[in-house]
C-alpha cells in the first residue's frame, strides 16, 4: 500500500528550501505533534522541510507561482494529502492558470502511482471546468492508464463518470470488445460492457440489446467455460426477468454444449441448477449429459436432478463443498 517514493537520485538533486533564495522571506512552520504523539513517523529531512514550508504559505494563504510549485513538490512526497491538493486548486483558480498543464501534471503523478484517489478527483475537477472539450482527452487518458493495468478501478470509475457527465459513448462498446479480445477474463471490461448496454443513450437498453449480447456471450462461454465473468454477464442480461432466463433455450443449450464436451464445468452445472430453480424443465439430453459426468465421477444419482447436480458440485468444486451441501438441503424445503 505504500507508494513508490522518489528515487534516491531525485533526493540527491533536491535543494533544501532554506538554501533557495526565492524562499528566503518565508519562515517555515514546524509540525506540532504534541507531548506524546502516537505512531510517530520517521520523516525524512526532505519531507519535513517541504511540509514546514507548505504550512507556512498555507497559513498565509499565499496564492503565487512559487506556492504552486511547492504544492507540486509536496504532492510528490505525499500524493494522498487532500489538504495540499485543495490548496493547489485554490491557487490555480486565483492565478487563472491554464488547466491543460494540470492534465499533464496528473499524468506525471499517475506514472508514480495511478491508484491515488486525490489524483483522480483533481482530474475530475479539471475535466468539470473544461467541460465537453475534455471528453476525448479524458477517454484517452483512462485508456492509457488501462493499457498499463486493464483493471485499474480508479481509471474505470473515472471513465464511467466521463461518459455519464460529458458523453463520448460512440466507441465504448467497441472498446470493451477490444479489451475482451485481449483478455476475455477481464471482469472490468465485462462490467463496462454491462454499463454501456444499460446506460448508453445511443443504444436501446438492456432488453433491446439482450439478443446480440447473449450471442456474443455464448461464444465467449464456449471458448472458455471456466471464465466466471462471462457466465455472470450472461445471467446479468436477464436481470429482473427470471421468466425469460428460464425459458430461453439458448441458455440450456450452452450448458448442454459445455457439459457434453467433457468439461467438468462448475459454472454450467450451477447455471443449470439456477435454471431449474426458476422453472426450467431439463430435456432428456441434459439429464443424460449430467448422468455421464456423474458416472465418470462416481457420484450417486439422487431422486431429483437438482439434488444430483448439487452432489456433483460437492465433488467437483470441493472448496465450496459445504455450500453445495447446504444448497441441496434447502431444495428439500419446497423451493424448486
Partner 1 sequence: MASEIFERDRHVTFLQMMYQLLPSPYQSQEINRLTLAYFVISGLDLLAAPDRLVDKEAVAKWVLSLQAHPRSQSELNNGQFYGFYGSRSAQFPSEDNDNGALLSRSVGNLASTYCAVAILKIIGYDLSSIDSESILTSMRNLQQSDGSFMPIHTGAETDLRFIYCAVAICHMLGNWSGMDKEKAKAYIINCQSYDGGFGLTPGSESHGGATYCSVTSLRLMGFIEEDILSKDAESSIINVPLLLDWCLQAADGGFQGRPNKPSDTCYAFWIGSVLKVLGGHKFIDKKALHGFLLTCQSEYGGFSKFPGDFPDLYHSYYGFTAFSLLEEPGLKPLCVELGMSAIAAIGI
Q: Which of 63, 115, 210, 235 binds partner 1 (CB under 8 A)?
A: 235
Stretch that binds partner 1, among 18-26, 28-36, 214-222, 249-257 (CB under 8 A): 28-36
Pick one of 10, 11, 22, 33: the residue that binds partner 1 (CB under 8 A): 33
What binding mask, one character per residue, do residues 152-191 give for partner 1 by CB under 8 A, x or -?
-x--xx--x------------------------xxxx--x
Residue 280 touching partner 1 (CB under 8 A): no
Instruction: Pick from 106, 114, 229, 311 the residue near partner 1 by CB under 8 A.
Output: 229
Number of residues that bind partner 1 (CB under 8 A): 68
Distance CA 189, CA 105 (A): 27
Backbone angles phi, psi at 168, to 5 degrees: 95, 30
Q: Using CB under 8 A, which residues numbered 185 to 204 contact partner 1?
A: 185-188, 191-192, 194-195, 199
Cβ neighbours around 141 below 10 Å, total: 21
Residue number with CB closer to partner 1 (85 or 105): 85
Catalytic one of 115, 143, 151, 315 = 115
Please count the residues of the chain.
Answer: 336
332 binds partner 1 (CB under 8 A): no
Residues 145, 110: contact at Cβ < 8 Å? yes
Q: How far is the CB of 31 from partner 1 (least distance, A)?
A: 5
Q: Is residue 11 near partner 1 by the rule CB under 8 A?
A: no
Contact status: 217 vs partner 1 (CB under 8 A): no
> Whole-angstrom Cα distance, residue 187 to residue 175?
14
Whether 18 sits among the annotated catalytic residues: the reply is no
How far apart CA 42 and CA 187 sit, in angstroms, is: 40
* CB neighbourhood size of 95 (10 A): 13
Q: What is the nearest approach in angstroms of partner 1 to the Cβ of residue 83?
A: 5
Find the angle CA(273)-CA(279)-CA(280) to the nearest 5 degrees. 65
40 binds partner 1 (CB under 8 A): yes
Distances (CA, A) of 189 to 54, 128, 155, 175: 41, 25, 12, 9
Count other Cβ atoms within 10 Å, centred on residue 57: 21
Phi, psi of 106 (to 5 degrees): -65, -35
Buried b (16+ CB within 10 A) or exposed e, 304-336: ebbbbbbbbbbebbeeeeeebeebbeebeeeee
Is residue 51 part of the contact set for partner 1 (CB under 8 A)?
yes
DSSP 226: T
User: What's the DSSP call for residue 199?
Assistant: H
Rule CB under 8 A: say whether 41 interacts with partner 1. yes
| Cα 79 to chain centroid, rounded | 21
By CB under 8 A, tell whether 105 contacts partner 1: no
- What character string, x for contact with partner 1 (CB under 8 A) and - otherwise, covers 120-149? xx--xx------------------------
Are residues 235 and 218 in contact, defined by beta-carbon separation less than 8 angstroms? Answer: no
Q: Does 2 bind partner 1 (CB under 8 A)?
A: yes
**Which spans of this chain sit near partner 1 (rule: CB under 8 A)?**
1-3, 5, 31-34, 36-44, 47, 51, 55, 58-59, 61, 77-83, 86, 89, 117-118, 120-121, 124-125, 151, 153, 156-157, 160, 185-188, 191-192, 194-195, 199, 227-229, 232-233, 235-236, 239, 270, 318-323, 326
- Residues identified as active-site: 115
Amino acid at each position: 500500500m505504500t507508494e513508490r517514493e522518489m528515487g534516491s537520485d531525485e533526493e540527491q538533486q533536491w535543494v533544501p528550501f532554506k538554501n533557495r533564495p526565492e524562499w528566503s522571506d518565508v519562515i517555515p512552520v514546524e509540525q506540532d505533534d504534541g507531548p506524546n504523539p502516537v505512531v510517530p513517523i520517521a520523516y525524512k529531512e526532505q519531507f519535513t522541510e517541504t511540509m514546514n514550508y507548505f504550512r507556512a504559505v498555507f497559513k498565509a494563504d499565499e496564492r503565487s507561482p512559487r506556492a504552486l510549485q511547492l504544492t507540486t513538490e509536496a504532492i510528490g512526497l505525499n500524493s494522498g494529502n487532500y489538504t495540499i491538493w485543495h490548496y493547489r486548486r485554490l491557487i490555480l483558480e486565483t492565478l487563472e492558470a491554464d488547466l491543460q498543464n494540470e492534465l499533464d501534471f496528473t499524468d506525471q503523478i499517475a506514472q508514480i502511482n495511478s491508484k491515488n484517489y486525490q489524483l483522480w478527483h483533481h482530474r475530475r475537477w479539471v475535466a468539470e471546468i473544461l467541460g465537453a472539450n475534455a471528453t476525448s482527452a479524458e477517454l484517452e487518458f483512462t485508456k492509457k492508464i488501462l493499457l498499463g493495468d486493464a483493471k485499474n478501478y480508479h481509471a474505470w470509475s473515472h471513465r464511467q463518470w466521463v461518459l455519464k457527465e460529458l458523453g463520448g459513448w460512440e466507441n465504448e462498446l467497441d472498446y470493451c470488445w477490444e479489451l475482451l479480445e485481449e483478455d476475455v477474463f477481464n471482469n472490468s471490461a465485462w462490467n463496462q460492457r454491462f454499463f454501456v448496454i444499460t446506460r448508453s443513450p445511443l443504444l436501446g437498453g438492456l432488453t433491446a440489446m439482450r439478443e446480440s449480447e447473449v450471442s456474443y456471450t455464448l461464444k465467449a462461454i464456449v471458448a472458455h467455460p471456466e471464465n466466471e465473468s462471462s457466465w455472470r454477464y450472461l445471467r446479468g442480461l436477464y436481470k429482473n426477468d427470471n421468466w425469460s432466463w428460464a425459458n430461453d433455450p439458448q441458455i440450456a443449450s450452452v450448458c448442454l454444449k459445455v457439459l457434453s464436451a467433457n468439461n467438468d464445468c462448475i459454472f454450467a452445472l450451477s447455471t443449470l441448477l439456477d435454471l431449474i430453480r426458476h422453472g426450467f424443465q431439463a430435456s432428456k439430453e441434459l439429464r443424460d449429459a449430467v448422468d455421464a459426468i456423474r458416472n465418470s465421477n462416481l457420484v450417486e444419482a439422487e431422486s431429483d436432478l437438482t439434488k444430483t447436480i448439487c452432489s456433483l458440485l460437492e465433488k467437483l468444486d470441493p472448496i465450496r463443498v459445504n455450500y453445495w451441501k447446504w444448497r441441496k438441503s434447502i431444495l428439500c424445503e419446497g423451493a424448486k
